[in-house]
Structure 1
Amino acid sequence: MYSIDKYHFKEFKIAPGHRANYAVLCNTEFEENQWGMKYSPANNYSREYKILPLFSHPQIPIRYKEGNAMMYKEGKSVIAQNYLIITHFEGADIVEYFQKRGLPDQDEMKRVIQYFSNATLPLHHMHSKGYIHSDIKPGHIILNPHTGTIALIDLECTIKIGEIICGMSKEYASPEQKQMIRMLRDGEEEKTVLKKVKMNAASDMYSVGLIFYRVLTGKLWQEANINPQEINKAIPDKLNRVLLGLLEENPDNRIPSAEALKKELATV
């Protein structure tokens, strides 16, 4: 048994490539699987703790507490950890889920469409509040296949629409995110960058498109860069057009919002 502060969990789970490790709390005063804990000796979660109350949606975590305390294993001290306690969502990384199942066939295509339609709900809520997630990747879209719902988690990099980004996952970043990072690295002032690069909901939609493409084809768009139907012939023509509409390099030509994506998926 492990503990941090007064919070207990059974397994020490390390997530390579992520800024946080994660465990489900098993305190007796909590309901089973009610709360999860992000923890790391290096990363601080105070920013996410402040951001979470901006949103009120059943598919976005609720915060409980953040802090710093020693981690213990069977009563013996291990290492101090920063931690954040949030709503626990049962489920799996959506890409990993389909990697285990194989490419969706015609019979499963309807479910995939429903999953991504469901993912538009927390995104629309966030965008309607004037914010973008700006770090959408498979591990941040948690699918519960039993309920068909998607949870949108890890809001550490969430920003107001039109702000400078504070992080991204390169494989799932939009072209404008990459452009912004390049300009900042080249020493351009933030005011100049913001005049040239507009961060809005369309940036999140590109990231959703990259994940959607990978679920339906098993490949990264950047590596394959071919029509999704050429890889998976079970993809309907209309859905194929939706995918390509999400992956437009120019955000002005891209499906612009979660609400617009939901409407498009309803017609597939």
Structure 2
Amino acid sequence: MYSIDKYYFKEFKIAPGHRANYAILCNPEFRENQWGMKYSPANNYLREYKILPLFSHPQIPIRYAEGNAVMYKEGKSVLVQNYLIITHFEGEDVVEYYKKRGLPDQREIEQVIHYFSSATLPLQHMHSKGYIHSDIKPGHLIVNPTTGTMALIDLECTIKIGEIICGMSKEYASPEQKQMIRLLRNGEDEKSVLKKIKIYTTSDLYSVGLIFYRVMTGKLWQEANIIPQEINKAIPDKLNNVILGLLEENPDNRIQSAEVLRAELEAV
């Protein structure tokens, strides 16, 4: 048994490629699988703790507590950890889920559409509040095949629309996010950068498109650069066009909102 502060969990789980480790809490006062804990010796979760109350949606985590304390294993101290306790969502990374199942065939595609249609709901809620997630990647969209929903998690990089980004995952970042980072790394100040480029909700939609493409083809768009239908012949024309509509380089030419995306998916 492990513990951090007054919170207990059975397994020490390290997620490769993620800055946070994660565990499901098993305190007797909590319901089973009610709360999860992100923990890390290096990351501070205060920013995410402050951001989470801005949203109220069943597919976005609720915060419970945040802090810093020694982690114990069977009563012996191990390491000081920063932690954040949030709603636990059953399920897994949507790309990993389909890696195990293989490329969606004609029958499975209907389910994939349902999952991504579900993901538009928390996105629409967040965008309607004037915020963008800005770090959407497979591990931040958790698919639950039992409920048919996807949860949107890890809001530590969430920003107001039009602000400077505070992080991104390179493989799933939009062209404008990458451009902003390049300008900042070249030494331009934030005011100058914001005169040249701003990040809007369409940036999140591009990231969703990259994930959708990978689920449907098993490949990264940047590496394959082939229309989805050429890789997976089961993809219907309308869905092929939706995915390409999310992957437009120019944000003005992209599908413009989560609401529009949901309508287009329902029309496939």
Same fold (TM over 0.5): yes
SS at match of 2:64: strand
TM-score by length of 2: 0.99
What is residue 5 of structure 1 aligned with on the other side? 5
Which string of whole-angstrom CA distances, capped at 9 and with x for unpartnered residues, describes residues 121-144 of structure 1? 000000000000000000000000
Identity across the alignment (%):
84
Return the letter of the residue paired with 2:85: I
Q: How does 1:100-249 map to 2 (within 5 A)?
A: 100-249=100-249
> CA RMSD of the aligned region, Å?
0.4
Aligned-partner Cα distance in 1 for 2:257–2:206: 10
Unaligned runs of 5+ in 2: none
Which string of whole-angstrom CA distances, capped at 9 and with x for unpartnered residues, describes residues 197-224 of structure 1? 1211000000000000000000000000
Which string of whole-angstrom CA distances, capped at 9 and with x for unpartnered residues, describes residues 32-71 of structure 1? 0000000000000000000000000000000000000000
Deviation at 1:14, TM superposition (A): 0.4
SS at match of 1:233: coil
What is residue 54 of structure 1 aligned with on the other side? 54
What is residue 23 of structure 2 aligned with on the other side? 23
Number of residue pairs aligned between Structure 1 and Structure 2: 268
What is residue 262 of structure 1 aligned with on the other side? 262
Aligned-partner Cα distance in 2 for 1:23–1:192: 42
What is residue 64 of structure 2 aligned with on the other side? 64
SS at match of 1:223: helix
SS at match of 1:65: strand
Which string of whole-angstrom CA distances, capped at 9 and with x for unpartnered residues, describes residues 165-211 of structure 1? 00000000000000000000111121111111121100000000000
Return the letter of the residue paired with 1:194: L
Aligned-partner Cα distance in 2 for 1:187–1:28: 52
Deviation at 1:17, TM superposition (A): 1.3
Aligned-partner Cα distance in 2 for 1:176–1:99: 29
Aligned-partner Cα distance in 2 for 1:203–1:196: 16
Deviation at 1:16, TM superposition (A): 1.5
